[in-house]
Amino acid sequence: METIECRREQQLPCALIDCVTEAVSSTFASIYGREPQKKDNGSAEVVGDGVLGIISLVGALQCSIVLGLPRETAKAVTAKFAGFEIDYEGPDMGDVVGELANVVAGDAAGRLESRGIKADLSLPTVARGNDVEMIQQGNTTSRLVHFECTGGSFWVKISAETQAGARN
Amino acid sequence: MEAVQECKLPQTLLDGVKSAVIEVMESICGKASEHGECGAAELSCGVIGVISLIGQDAWSMMVGLPRGTAIAFAKQFTGDAVAYDSRDMGDVVGELANIIAGQAAGRMESAGLKASLSLPTVARGNGIAVPVQYELPSVCMGFTCPQGIFWVRIASAKRGPSGRFRPASSTCRS
């Protein structure tokens, strides 16, 4: 599997980046039968008209994982994931995107645990809107990874406390 | 004010969060009270701060501030004008979520429910809605302070045998 470049000065644990991106690849491969393609890292984290799936890990690592799905990607991915079309404006969209975030984070937590980093999952939270963007906080460092899958493009933002240090 | 309650949440949690919101906002803004316009606030342009608590059970809390409230609150909180589009706005709303959740966690711990706080996550956008997740008990409460209206939504779940969380009750959406 292609690895994401990881530098210590980013202060984001390389193990965290690896485990989350591997979890995303594995989850989307199980949905579409092929791994999503990692794209050049872009700076934009505006999902535009779209949905965010937000979930946190608490334990040896304090971090959050945000899955950003533009509207068309959300419709395509949730239909494939659920096995039937999901109304974008309907309440089921929250369920499916929340569950997708849960699956990705659960996979990532398992991979972290196999590296000796134990963390519990939070409840997923889903937000939908227009021009939705994440705001980086001063005490956190983050990494944005863009992907392209059969259903469209999406991104994952991984954030952790700056003071957490680089536990590679 | 009557909370928009989709399903039953533990009363200790509901009371703990509500009193934490009032206490924190009164200490910052001088005054705060509940009001019943949660649905309208949820649809406005604004900023949301999301934070989770994880223990034997888990709950998550979202604080939603319409744009006008966010700008006025940030000025009151920091003593300076904070641009809506700035990174500082993320710090302000993240810190607000952190303080309220910390206060609520203290109240929960006094009731024997110990939990750890996650990092807060902050997002900004237009027409932000937080869809209620299936079978996840949640409550949305509207509040007002001199800086404007805002809302707080809480949801909770119990930990399943696998370590993942599952809804605290069977059916919350008809």
Cβ of A91 within 8 Å of Cβ of B132? The answer is: yes
- pLDDT of A164: 43
Please check whether residue B166 lies inside any domain of the structure: no
Partners of A161 on chain B (C-beta within 8 Å) are 119
The B-side interface with A (CB below 8 A) comprises 47-48, 50, 52-54, 58-60, 62, 87-91, 93-94, 116-134, 136, 155-157, 163-165, 173
A76: phi then psi, degrees, rounded to nearest 5: -70, -45
Cβ of A122 within 8 Å of Cβ of B122? The answer is: no
- pLDDT of A43: 52
Q: Which member of B50, B93, B136 has the closest CB to residue A54?
A: B50
Q: Tell whether A52 lies on the interface with B, counting CB pairs under 8 A.
A: yes
Q: Which residue has the higher pLDDT, B72 or A47?
A: B72
> Using DSSP, how many helices (H) and how many strands (E) does chain B show?
4, 9
With a cut of 80, say whether residue A17 has pLDDT above it: yes
Residue A161 amino acid letter: E
- pLDDT of B37: 60
Cβ of A91 within 8 Å of Cβ of B126? The answer is: no
Parallel/antiparallel/unpaired status of strands A63-70 and A46-59: antiparallel
Q: How many domains does chain B have?
A: 1
* Lowest mean per-residue pLDDT among A54-58, A79-83, A124-128, B1-5: B1-5
- Spatial neighbors of B55 by CB under 8 A, at least 6 apart, are B113, B114, B115, B116
A58: phi then psi, degrees, rounded to nearest 5: -125, 130
Please check whether residue B64 lies inside any domain of the structure: yes
Domain chopping of chain A, boundaries: 8-161
Q: Which CATH superfamily is domain A8-161 in?
A: CheC-like (3.40.1550.10)
Closest residue in A to B163 (Cα) is A120
Please check whether residue B152 lies inside any domain of the structure: yes
Can you read off the two tokens belonging to residue B164? 């993942």
Cβ of B125 within 8 Å of Cβ of A102? The answer is: no
Q: What percentage of chain A has pLDDT greater than the value 70?
A: 85
Average pLDDT, chain A: 85
Partners of A62 on chain B (C-beta within 8 Å) are 118-119
Please check whether residue B113 lies inside any domain of the structure: yes
Cα A26 to its chain centre, rounded Å, is 12
Q: Which member of B89, B121, B131 has the closest CB to residue A54?
A: B121
Best A125, A131, A155 residue to mutate vs chain B (most B CBs within 10 Å): A125
Instruction: Dihedral sign for Cα A18, A12, A71, B149, please.
Output: positive
- pLDDT of B111: 83
With a cut of 80, say whether residue B160 has pLDDT above it: no
Name the pLDDT band for B56 (thresholds 50, 70, 90): confident
- pLDDT of A135: 86
Q: Tell whether A164 lies on the interface with B, counting CB pairs under 8 A.
A: no
- pLDDT of B101: 96
Name the pLDDT band for A35 (thresholds 50, 70, 90): very high
A120: phi then psi, degrees, rounded to nearest 5: -95, 150
Q: Which residue has the higher pLDDT, B169 or A37?
A: A37
Closest residue in B to A132 (Cα) is B125
- Across A113-117, average pLDDT: 93
Please check whether residue B167 lies inside any domain of the structure: no
Name the pLDDT band for A136 (thresholds 50, 70, 90): confident
Please check whether residue B173 lies inside any domain of the structure: no
- Across B117-126, average pLDDT: 91
CA-CA-CA-CA dihedral for B19, B22, B24, B25, to nearest 10: 170
- pLDDT of B2: 38
- The CATH number linked to B56 is 3.40.1550.10
Partners of B60 on chain A (C-beta within 8 Å) are 122-123, 125
- pLDDT of B96: 97
Cα B39 to its chain centre, rounded Å, is 14
Distance from CA of B129 to the nearest CA of A (A): 5
- pLDDT of A167: 37
* Separation between Cα atoms, residue A161 and residue A142, nearest integer Å: 9
- pLDDT of B110: 87
pLDDT digits 0-9 by tens, A145-166: 999 999 999 999 999 987 544 3
- Spatial neighbors of B20 by CB under 8 A, at least 6 apart, are B100, B101, B103, B104, B107
Domain that holds residue B63: 4-157
With a cut of 70, say whether residue A114 has pLDDT above it: yes
- Across B2-9, average pLDDT: 53
Residue B159 amino acid letter: R
- pLDDT of B6: 45
Q: Residue A46, by phi and psi: left (phi above 0), alpha (psi -120 to 50) or beta?
A: beta
Q: Which member of B123, B163, B165 has the closest CB to residue A123?
A: B165
Q: What percentage of chain B has pLDDT greater than the value 70?
A: 80
Please check whether residue B82 lies inside any domain of the structure: yes
Highest mean pLDDT among A39-48, A121-130, B134-143: A121-130
ipTM above 0.85, yes or no: no
